Amino acid sequence: MVWDLVQTIVTGEILIEVSIQCESLIATMSREELREAAEQLDTDEIADLAHDLPQAVMRDVFKSLTIEEREQLRAAMSYPEDAVVR
């Protein structure tokens, strides 16, 4: 119930922070809600969340990015999930 009150502007940030519960929250969201939430994030944050998002949502998000942001997202996603990049 509380999740429904969260504004789209901060939804993506919350999904990043609650990664343990992320899958169950994502399951309650529509494709549009997920896309809007992801679009509020930086490319490195989108990369962190990408493995939990449906492929269709990731395609939508990718299309909404600028060419530069797409390249940044590709680069961020090329590292293993547990890698630390400086």
Domain count, the chain: 1
pLDDT range class, residue 8, cuts 50, 70, 90 = low
Express as a percent the part of the chain with pLDDT over 90.
29
pLDDT range class, residue 1, cuts 50, 70, 90 = very low
Instruction: For residue 65, tell me if it sits in a domain.
Output: yes
Instruction: For residue 49, tell me if it sits in a domain.
Output: yes
Instruction: For residue 84, tell me if it sits in a domain.
Output: no
Instruction: For residue 83, tell me if it sits in a domain.
Output: no
Count each helix (H run) and each strand (E run) in the chain, helices first. 6, 0
pLDDT at residue 68, rounded to an integer: 96
- The pTM for the full model equals 0.68
For the stretch 27-66, pLDDT in tens is 888 999 889 888 888 898 899 888 888 999 999 999 999 9
Which residues span the domain enclosing 68? 3-77
pLDDT at residue 12, rounded to an integer: 67
Instruction: For residue 13, tell me if it sits in a domain.
Output: yes
Q: Do residues 51 and 76 lie in contact, with contact meaning Cβ atoms separated by under 8 Å? A: no
